[in-house]
Structure 1
């Protein structure tokens, strides 16, 4: 189970909480370790390079270097309430990121931007799969009520592109509506909701 004292507050997300990725910020973020570092800061709150190195199984030199790179792109910053002359604490600038159009980057004329988009998507998919696998291998450590509350489903539909957009928008709206129910009570836990929607080739 989560250690609630370490978890950052979660709740309704405003537009100011989200970074809209452009070509420059995408290139800055599209690195497996940088994406993991940023996710760790968003999930667990401010930390030092050494703490993140221990958490992610990396060297402090690597985490320190990539944190500075993230800072140069405006993705992380110093936490002035924690830092000291000997210990630098980092925090995420935004609670999440979004794209105005993923297709814009998939079709981008600059091959470096297309490569960054590919790296970002593959790492995002890898991270999602790892989180599901971690839950499935550790669910026996959770109370029975949570062992029976989770879900992993797969559906195949026949949709037009317009239908797919509508489905995605409705799912996102439903998830956002549940943010109003978030609780710090004894039964509340952080719940990861993953949603994937994509066409598959016909056999």
Structure 2
């Protein structure tokens, strides 16, 4: 049975706690690589341990991460992610004040920047991967004519399909690797 994939829906309060580039990076590191200390994360991300400690405490205050005492010894404080992802509906913040709308913009642009960095990272290292992994990768773009309702249906079906693959491969499979999937669907201006 695959492990349940817990996601958190962002509201204005939690958006305040996450809408910072370093916090988003710290949370992603904990989600992908598991529990760590502020010092470990500082070294991994090229930041000061003081900055990582501060931002980890902010993430904890907003419920994104929690202590992982089972990993620590002595005074070491280990942190772990509470959930594996977030759900964010930017339209829920349309009537919010400028501060909240600004944080929503920061979050969206940082997600886009992260996607770009991850894709660039793949492109710069793809020759280190096997031919099987190169064939199994994808960088496609398509254009469709859709209504907002059809676009919503398509996004929901893509997410359901991705969820169907969750847990099919495990760490015990020597060919299994962690993969990233980015989906973007947005309307474009046409002449």
Whole-angstrom CA distance in 2 between matches of 1:51 and 1:108: 40
- The partner residue of 2:141 within 110, 129, 154 is 154
Whole-angstrom CA distance in 1 between matches of 2:124 and 2:152: 33
CA-atom RMSD in angstroms: 1.3
TM-score (norm: length of structure 1): 0.89
Whole-angstrom CA distance in 2 between matches of 1:84 and 1:119: 36
4+ residue segments displaced more than 4 Å: none
Whole-angstrom CA distance in 2 between matches of 1:126 and 1:13: 28
The reply to whether residue 68 of structure 1 matches residue 74 of structure 2 is no
Whole-angstrom CA distance in 1 between matches of 2:4 and 2:159: 12
The reply to whether residue 38 of structure 1 matches residue 27 of structure 2 is yes
Shift of 1:12: 4.7
Preserved CA contact (<8 Å) 1:12 1:176: no
Aligned pairs (5 A) from 1:174-193? 174-184=161-171, 185-193=173-181
Shift of 1:19: 1.3
Shift of 1:85: 3.4
Post-superposition CA distance 1:110-153 (Å, at most 9, x none): 11110110000000000011001000100111122112211100
Match of 1:77, SS?
Answer: strand
Preserved CA contact (<8 Å) 2:64 2:81: yes
For 2:40, the equivalent position in structure 1 comes to 51
Match of 1:108, SS?
Answer: coil
For 2:85, the equivalent position in structure 1 comes to 96
TM-score (norm: length of structure 2): 0.94
Whole-angstrom CA distance in 2 between matches of 1:158 and 1:188: 36
Aligned pairs (5 A) from 1:124-143? 124-143=111-130
**What residue ranges of structure 2 are gaps of 5+ in the alignment?**
none
Shift of 1:86: 2.5
